[in-house]
Amino acid sequence: MPANGQPDFFSIQIAEARRFHMEARPSKESLLAVRAGGCEHCATNYEIHRPSFPYIGIEFVAHGKGTAVLHGKTYSLAAGTIFSYGPGISQGITSDPQEPMVKYFLDFSGRHSKRLLERYGPGLGQALQTSAPGEVMAIWEEIIRTGLRATPFGARIVSVLLEYLLLKVAETTIPLGSSGTPAFSTYRRCRQWIENHALKLNSLDQMAAECHIDPAYLCRLFRRFDHQSPYQCLLKFKMNHAAQRLQIPGIAVKQVAEEVGFSDPCHFSRVFKKMEGLSPAQFARFCIRC
């Protein structure tokens, strides 16, 4: 540790940074422990070359462009890209001097760290793209705020948030380089339309017609960029609305069913219970008790 109290693996080729370091060294039995993290605004000369790294590291590009060479494979970095490295993984990370990167990072260890990364995030020495960079960045910001507060519970909270972050990455992963393509833009447009007009939509054909594309193509877009079919996405939005309405004391299940496009209250109840785990009546009673 240098005299300034910052780890020696913190880069000095930065224009601005918010970074934290967990002083307490985790035990060998730790399942997951964050060692450091933060947000860095890369300088125009930002360039990192390391033959390895003592911890598992993940980085997320929020703005700008760059290049990462991980274990000999080159990845183009842009907003929404997430990549990882760790012990035995050589790293060469450079920022585009014309569009310097703003990037978030986390370094962690523990017996479950590699397993979690391989299951939910980019595998060691790999990169991926997220379809929800704003949501990912919001979680990272909460991690940084918690890390900088340095409370007695901070290390545990940050570890839990790291798991949440990796789950969000898994939920929103799309093929690398998809962001900004016409196909991804069409998917985002259609998904937003479905969310905004869910109460009046009832079928795949209707969704496709409203979005002005072929139903088969709409399904292909969701297979490529989502983890559900267009109709499953529609049902999720409908049930979210239904759950909000059922919190109103005295509201009838039949009324809520009609509002979300179900003419048969029994069918609505079956769908709601399958997705929410409780029948509409049970859900309403639970909300009243709370």
pLDDT tens-digit series, residues 73-103: 999 999 999 999 999 999 999 999 999 999 9
pLDDT at 2: 47
Higher pLDDT, 285 or 141: 141
* φ, ψ at 150 (rounded to 5°): 55, 50
Write out pLDDT tens, residues 17-30.
999 998 766 666 67
Nearest to residue 42, comparing CAs of 104, 100, 127?
100
Better-predicted residue by pLDDT, 4 or 15:
15
Q: Which H or E element spans position 272?
A: helix 265-276
CATH of domain 182-289: 1.10.10.60
Measured distance CA(64)–CA(98) in Å, rounded: 9
Residue of 242, 244, 261 whose CA lies nearest to 253:
242
Locate the domains of the chain by residue range: 14-174, 182-289
Say if pTM beats, i.e. exceeds, 0.85.
no
Q: Does domain 14-174 have CATH number 3.40.50.1820?
A: no
- What is the per-residue pLDDT across 140-174, written as a single tens digit (0 to 9) for each? 999 999 999 989 899 999 999 999 999 999 999 98
Q: Are 179 and 49 in contact (CB under 8 A)?
A: no
